[in-house]
Structure formats: C-alpha cells, structure tokens
Amino acid sequence: MGSHGIKDRVAIVGMGCTPFVEAWDKGTDDLLIDAARETFASAGVAKDDVDAFWLGTAQAGMSGMLLSKPLQLENKPVTRVENMCATGSEALRQAAYAVASGAYDVAMAIGVEKVKDGGYQGLNAFPVPGDGTARTLTAAAMFSMVAPAYGRRYGVSDDEMRAVLSHIASKNHYNGARNPRAQFRREIAPEKISAMPKLAGQLGVFDCAGVADGAAAAIVVRAEDAYRYTDKPVFIKALSMVAGNGSGVIDPEYDYTTFWEIAACAEDAYRQAGVADPRAEIAMAEVHDCFTPTELVLMEDLRFADRGTAWKEVLAGAFDLGGRLPVNPDGGLKSFGHPVGASGLRMAFEAWLQLRGEAPPERRIPETGRTLALTHNLGGYPGEMVSFIAILGSGRG
Amino acid sequence: MSTPNRQDPPVRGVLGYGAYLPYRRLDRAAIAPVAGGGGGRGTRTVASFDEDTTTMGVEAARDALRAAPHVRPRSLLFATVAPAYADRTNATAVHAALRLPADVAAIDAAGSVRSAAGLLRLALDGGTSALVVASDLRGGLPGSGDEAAGGDGASALLVGSSDDGPVLAEYLGGASATAEFVDRWRAPGEARSKLWEDKFGEKHYLAAGRQAWTDALKNVGLTADQVDHVAVTGLHARAVAGLGRSLGVRDGVLADGLGATVGVTGAAHPGLLLASELDTLAETGGSAADRIVAVVVLSDGAEVFVFRTTDALEAYTPARPVADQVAGGAPIPYGTFLAWRGMLPVEPPRRPEPARTSSSAAARSAEWKFGFVGSRDRSSGAVHLPPARVSMRGGAVDDMEPVPMADAVGTVKTFTIDRMAYSPSPPVVFAVVDFDRGGRLPIELTDVDADRVRVGDRVEPTFRRVGTADGIHNYFWKARPVRDAAPTRSAQSAREA
C-alpha cells in the first residue's frame, strides 16, 4: 500500500488554453472546441488519434456527452469528472493515470466552465438538496478568516498584513498584464488594492479572484512515446490529491493559519517526485490564489517558506516574477478569473510554456537551471478542502 | 401554608414560565416622519428578520422548561395569530427544538388572541401537564395604530399539578364571557386588520370584562380588594384602560401593561404579563408567597384567570426576567423594520436565493437541525457538529453519544462579515465558535451589530428561521451574544441537577 506516483511514465505533448474572459459570445461548446483544436494542433494529432477523454467541469453540464457532442467524437470513451475547483486538475490526473496503466496510448484532459451564463457575480455552487443546516457563506468570507488568524499567530499587524495581501494581488496583476490570455491585463498598485471597500472581512474586490469563462486541455502519452510528438515534452513527476475530512471546520485545534490537506498533499507530491528541497528544486509554481490570504498560507504549506515567514518573503519579492521562486507567473486566478473546471489545466499550461521556454520574454521566469514546475489547485474552504498538486519537469530522470 | 403537604389533594397551576422579547426596539417617534402619521411615544419590540412566531415560541418555551427541568409536559399547546404555516402544525417545530418525546402531543390554536387564553384555560382545567406557548407578531400598515401599539414576543407557561413538581402559582379558578361582535377583522393572509368605530368595541369589552371579572371573583371566593396584582390585556387599548379603572382593586394593584416599552404582543401578552408579575414577586424573595395574581384577557369577550403564589416562587430565580429583556434591547431604524416586515420591498442581494430545504433530509437530521444535538466520540472525546458516524479522531465507527448543544455557551474564535452572501438582511455576520464543553461550529451570528463583534465574544445558541424557499421555512440555530450571565448559570445548574 502506498502512493507510488507515476514519475516519468507519462508526458504532456500538447496543450491549449482559450483566453479566460467574460465570453458573452461563446458557449460551452465553443470553448471546448477552441481549446481542443489548439491542443490537437499543439500535439500534432487529430481527434481520432486520441483514445480516451477526461472532461472536467463543475457544473457546465453532465456526462461525457458534454464533450463528445460538440467535438463529434465517434465511439470514444469520455468521462466527466468533478472535484470542486480542482476539477481541471482532476481531469489531468485521470487521463495521466489511464495512460500510465497501459489502458490507452493517447488521452486528453480537458476542462471547461461557463460561469458567466449564471447571471451572478462570483461562483455559485450547484444546489444540492439538503437539510438546510449547511453554511451559505461566500468563499471570500471563509478565506477572509485566514488573514486575522495568521496575523495574530505570527505577530503581523493589520497594516503589515494589508501590505502583504496587496503585494500578492499586485504581483499577480503585474504578471497577468504580460499575458494575452489573461482577463485582467492592467497593473494595479498595492495602494489602490489596499484602499478598496471591503466585501468580506478585510478582503476587498482586488483580494478576490476574478470570474471568467474558459477552457484548457492537454494531450498525454507514455513517456517513451513523447518525442514522437514533440522535441520538448513535459514529463509528469507527481500527481497528488487529498480530499479533506472537513475536520478543520469542527475541530477547535484548527487555527486558520494553514491548510492541513495541502501540507499533506505537498508531502505526497514531493515524495512521488523525489523532491527533497522544493525551494532549491522548483523553478516556478502556479498556485490557487483564489483570495490573497490563500496564496500567503500556500507558500508555507508548499514549503516555499518556513512557518510564520512567508509574509516577510512576500514583501521582499521572493515570489515575484524575478524573485527566487516565481509564483503565478501567468497572473494566476487573480488575473485570469476562475472557470472552475479549466483552472487546473490553465496552471499546467503556464508550466508547459515556461518549462519549454515558450513564455514570452516579458514574463519569462529567471534562468536558474531548475527544471521543475509545480501547480497547485484547491477546492472548498479553510478546514474542508480538496487539494491537488502536480509536479512537472522538462526532462526525464 | 400555601404549599400543600402530602395529605392535601394535588393543586394545579404554573410550574414554570418563560418570556421572550426580541432584541430590536422601534422608537415610535420614527414612524410619523416616514408614514406621515401614526407612531407616538415609547418603543415597541421588533422580531428580527430571522424570527417568526415559531422561533420566538421556542425561545420562551426553553426558559419555561429551564425553570422546571424535571417536569415533563404531556402536551405542547401553541397559540398564535401569525402562524408560520397553514395546514401543517407549527407546534411540531417547537416540539422538535425542545426535544420533547414523540408521545407528547403538539397542537396549534391559530387565529385569534383569544386562542392563547383558551389553551391556557384548557391546560389549567385539564388533568395533565402541558406547556402552553403563545407567540405573536403584531403590526399593520405603516402609520397604523396596530403597527405602533403592537409588539412582537412570546410567552410560555408550564402548567401542571403539584404531583409534577413545585407549583409557583396555584390556579384558583376563573371565568369566561364570550361575546360575538365585530370590532376588528382581517381575512387570513392580509397584512392589516380593519377596525370598527372605537366606542362600539369598548362598550362590548367593558361589559364582557366586568361580567367575567365578577364571575371569576365569585368562583374563587375572593373580593376585588383581596387581589394583589392584576394585569389586563387585549388589542382594544381604550377597553383595556377602561376596564382596569373599573375592576375595584386597590391602588397600585393594576400592572403595567408594558405598552410604553414592548407594545401589546397579542396572543403572547397574557403570558408575558403574568411572567412579568411572577418575576417581580420572585425577586422580592420572602414576601412572594400567598399573593393573589389575576390576568384579564379582552378578546371576543373576556377571560379571567386567578392564581395564588406559593412558597416555591420565593425560592425561584427567573432565568431571563422580563424586566431585563425589556431593558436590554437595541434600536432599529424604521426602514429596516418595514423591510423586515415586507412593507418596504428592497433590492435583494444579487446572489441566487438558497434552494428549498429537502424535507426528507430535514426529517433525517431533525435532532441536529431542530434539537441542536451533536455527537461525541466515546473513545477520543471529539465532539462532532453536526453528528457523525465516523470519528475525525481515531476513526471509531458508530461509537458516538449525543451531545445536546442548545444550552452550550461558546466563544468567538474568529469571525467575518460577508457582504456578498445571500441574506434577507445583509451583511451576514459569521463566526467560528468554540463551545465551552467541546466542539466547534462555524455559525451565523444574529442580534448583533456587525461592527461590534470581537474575537473572544461569548455567544449562545438561539433557534432561528434561516430563510424560506418555495414556502418551506428553514429553521436552524444561530448564535447571539450572551447579554447576561443568568441563562448560562441556569443551563449549567439544570444540567448538573
């Protein structure tokens, strides 16, 4: 029994990603077709060359036919997967494991979400019949409780915390301003972010991820076949997934300064990939910056910073585009918005570009000799969440 | 000696009582500038957006049961003029929140102020113990007399015999005078009552009230000057005042009807005034026994009840005295009051409304949803809110014991103010609460001003209506600040007893 991983057994040989925007003029079908076409072209395959499909969507539709109908797939297995905001990542994980098992030669992971057709700001959970006792708080409010808890525990004043959170948001907007696929492409000064009226707790609108429609996809094949498709494949080093037991919500020992599920997920991912010191080995990370305090805590749960120190490192620029470990070089959820089923694959897409040296010069990460990228994706709330981490690399071994 | 010894036949009366006044107060002076008229002096109580007659009834009933923790009522009788539901019984939600056994009958009497007095009479005359709960929301159109004179609240009287437990106030007897005359009327579902000319009703009420008062005194063998405390209530203010002046009682005997501070809480008011009188006597300690207390209710005639207090009242400490609740409120703007009442349609939050509650899921989780009962893992001691079958610590399966949380007190560990979440009255104030005897629950706070919540605040559970979707009311518990130490003490001693 153990989580053995599939290090270097599967490679990504093609990826695509639509712009993440308020796509008033495109439906779910359009987004899927656009992302799939770009991905097929990237890998140099036709849809008939793909043996099996995993479609991630939280609530854009039901079943594999959400994909098979618009793409007119004939007699292909299509599996719809859902794991809250980690849905796109889950599709990648399933496709990769299917290829690693030997069941299929070529698989596609594709994620999509059509959020803006709901008619509301923000994400809205699909209504599940219940006894009426579940919380109905927004995610912003739940994550807002992290900031004061962190501040109290580590002696960070309210003003310092505000500066930290605004630095995170400003950094991600800086990166997103350099990304043509991002929805928000303007730099925003930290002072402006700090000055916004508060929506939930101490979080203003610029502390929250945007809302967008979008799709992204990847083609995965056996590692030994990868160079038949591209001379720059990206190898899967680790795929880790933890679905929390929700105990943080009801356990008085939980203090809202960490996410237990993510710390455990990181340990598993680093073990699968053979990473001993993430700070020295990871070249860049795409993390789930749904709200600014989330990214702060993630830096510690992912071991990018020691406990209680991430806030100082954020202010020192450690995770800036030119810092020692660039985080969210594509602009993150902050600049892209968060089409739930697509976000995990959008993160992998940035790792794909950066590891292959294809990110445009204005947002390319510094040359360090490190060849690993980490993507992290979560769903849920502090105390009860699902966590996904992938580690991807530009070489085998 | 007022308390019967073992040779005496058992006497019937009030074994416990509770009253509930919502936290908010409307200053009547705020009405006229908006409505163009109406209002007046003083304040009235206002039920919060998350309260209805069912939830207020629960709060009053909890206090009544706290006062007599060993008494097991055989029936729950619920009266209201403003039922949350038609067709189905509203008392069942109260019953569930109180965690009464299934063999305790739960019965509604809905529709008139008199229904509350009627249930009380049935309970006092009947052979078994009963919890009589009355709850009301009073109002009318903006600027109306009913809006200004009304109040919101609930009362609960635990009625039984000395075999059930110590009787605080023995029921000596009373009288009814029933009269058919239409001085006010309202079709079911309408927001306002219409009124006939004032003196017409006054004439009939004074006649019925005098008749019932005379009959009651005769039935119990007392004269008016032997009555120590009398409370008169009804929706007809002139008749109530006029009858009070003509009862023939000594000076100072007529009770404050709480009109200046609370307003008339309709069906709840007779119990509320009786609770207030018993509170006042209990607080005098040594002289609380052997006092004659009468309640006169003017509604479609008159009902009179006459009690004699006992030694047990001398030893009794009210959990939440009416006077403390009257003094403890906080103001609410008239516009918010109108919005809460549906009189002022305001822009709802631009978020999807919550889906309707699943009846089957709610029925499965009734112990949690209504009774607020969690579970404790016997091996690790970990408290699970809501109850769970598998422990979060150690993984034990189906080895949990129930943990009632309704009387637990907790501390705000952290909190947030959610300005985007759907609520009938945004923003939502939400806190992570750690309870003193174990367990944590993220829970909505109510009866608070958002900018005054602090980490470390002490809070206690309160039964509320979270919302309504597709006509199904979603009842669950929220937490409110502990505003006095008495409920904590009482809950603690009840548990230890």
User: pLDDT for B405-416, tens place per residue?
Assistant: 999 999 999 999
Fill in the DSSP letter of residue A127: P
Read out DSSP for B133-186?
A: EEEE----STT-HHHHHB--EEEEEEEEETTTS--SEEEEEEEEEE----SEE-
Q: For residue B349, count other CB atoms closer than 10 A to its CB.
A: 18
Percent of chain B residues topping a pLDDT of 70: 96
- How high is the pLDDT of residue B237? 96
pLDDT digits (tens, 9 = 90+) for B30-57: 999 999 999 999 999 999 999 999 999 9
> In this predicted complex, what is the ipTM?
0.91
Nearest Cβ partner for A120 among B352, B438, B475: B352
Backbone angle region of A315, left / alpha / beta, with phi > 0 → left and psi within -120 to 50 → alpha: alpha
User: What amino acid is encoded at B280 in this protein?
Assistant: T
Which tokens belong to B488?
């904590």
Residues whose CB falls within 8 Å of the CB of residue A48, separated by 6 or more in sequence, listed in order? A74
Largest CA distance in chain A: 60
In chain A, which residues have their Cβ closer than 8 Å to the Cβ of B413?
A: 252
| Residue B496's pLDDT band (cuts 50, 70, 90) | very low
Asked whether B74 and B95 are in contact (CB, 8 A), the reply is no
Q: Which residues of B touch A (CB under 8 A)?
A: 350-352, 354-355, 357-358, 361-362, 364-365, 368-369, 382-386, 392-393, 413-422, 428, 430, 432, 434, 438-442, 455, 466, 474-476
Residues whose CB falls within 8 Å of the CB of residue A132, separated by 6 or more in sequence, listed in order? B354, B357, B358, B361, B362, B369, B466, B474, B475, B476
Q: From A227, A236, A176, A235, select the one nearest A206 (Cα to Cα).
A: A176
Dihedral sign, CA of A98, A101, A103, A107? Answer: positive
Summarize the confidence of residues B242-270 as an average pLDDT: 97
User: What amino acid is encoded at B310 in this protein?
Assistant: T
Asked whether A248 and A15 are in contact (CB, 8 A), the reply is no
Which of the two residues, A87 and B284, has the higher pLDDT score?
A87
Give the CB-side neighbour count of residue A394, counting CA atoms within 13 A: 20
Contact between A131 and B369 using a beta-carbon 8 Å cutoff: yes
Which tokens belong to A246?
């929700």
Which tokens belong to B389?
């079958």
Asked whether A318 and A324 are in contact (CB, 8 A), the reply is yes
Contact between A145 and B416 using a beta-carbon 8 Å cutoff: yes
Which of the two residues, A259 and B285, has the higher pLDDT score?
A259
Which tokens belong to B71?
């008494």
Nearest Cβ partner for A250 among B350, B385, B420: B385
Q: Which helix (H) or strand (E) holds A163?
A: helix A158-176
Contact between A141 and B430 using a beta-carbon 8 Å cutoff: yes
Nearest Cβ partner for A132 among B357, B440, B455: B357
Q: What are phi and psi of A368, to 5 degrees?
A: -125, -10
Nearest Cβ partner for A200 among B358, B419, B476: B419
- Assess A63–B contact: CB distance below 8 Å, yes or no: no
Cα–Cα distance for residue pair A52/A107, rounded to 1 Å: 5
What residue has token string 């985007």? B420
Q: From B310, B303, B312, B18, select the one nearest B158 (Cα to Cα).
A: B18
- How high is the pLDDT of residue B497? 33
Spell out, as residue ranges, where chain A has pLDDT lower than 50. Answer: none
What residue has token string 């796109």? A88
Fill in the DSSP letter of residue A364: P
Identify the closest residue of chain B to A143 by CA–CA distance. B416
Q: Hey, which residues does A53 pair with through a beta bridge?
A: A78, A108
Q: For residue A239, count other CB atoms closer than 10 A to its CB.
A: 28
Which tokens belong to B195?
């009124």
Question: Quick check: B486 pLDDT over 70?
Answer: no
pLDDT digits (tens, 9 = 90+) for A156-176: 999 999 999 999 999 999 999
Identify the closest residue of chain A to B467 by CA–CA distance. A132
To the nearest whole Å, the CA of B26 is away from the closest chain A CA by 29
- How high is the pLDDT of residue B352? 81
- How high is the pLDDT of residue B137? 97
- How high is the pLDDT of residue B484? 62
Read out DSSP for B341-393?
A: TTSS--PPPSSPPPPPPPHHHHHHTHHHHTT-EEEEETTT--EESS--SB-SS
Q: For residue B324, count other CB atoms closer than 10 A to its CB.
A: 15
The pTM of the full predicted model, rounded to 2 decimals, is 0.93
Beta strands B12-20; B301-309: pairing state? unpaired
- How high is the pLDDT of residue B493? 39
| Residue B23's pLDDT band (cuts 50, 70, 90) | very high
Contact between B466 and A148 using a beta-carbon 8 Å cutoff: no
Question: Quick check: B485 pLDDT over 80?
Answer: no
Q: From A299, A329, A296, A319, select the one nearest A203 (Cα to Cα).
A: A296
CA B294, B297, B300: angle at the middle one, nearest 5?
150
Q: For residue A137, count other CB atoms closer than 10 A to its CB.
A: 22
Q: From B47, B61, B158, select the one nearest B464 (Cα to Cα).
A: B47
Give the CB-side neighbour count of residue B370, counting CA atoms within 13 A: 23
pLDDT digits (tens, 9 = 90+) for A334-355: 999 999 999 999 999 999 999 9
Beta strands B75-80; B105-110: pairing state? parallel
pLDDT digits (tens, 9 = 90+) for B174-223: 999 999 999 999 998 898 999 999 999 999 999 999 999 999 999 999 99
What residue has token string 């600014």? A292
- How high is the pLDDT of residue A1? 67
Contact between A135 and B413 using a beta-carbon 8 Å cutoff: no
- How high is the pLDDT of residue B1? 41
Which tokens belong to B464?
């509320």
- How high is the pLDDT of residue B319? 85
Q: Highest mean pLDDT range out of A264-273, B315-324, B352-361?
A: A264-273
pLDDT digits (tens, 9 = 90+) for A26-40: 999 999 999 999 999
Asked whether B120 and B271 are in contact (CB, 8 A), the reply is yes
In chain A, which residues have their Cβ closer than 8 Å to the Cβ of B351?
A: 120-122, 124
Which tokens belong to B451?
């900018």
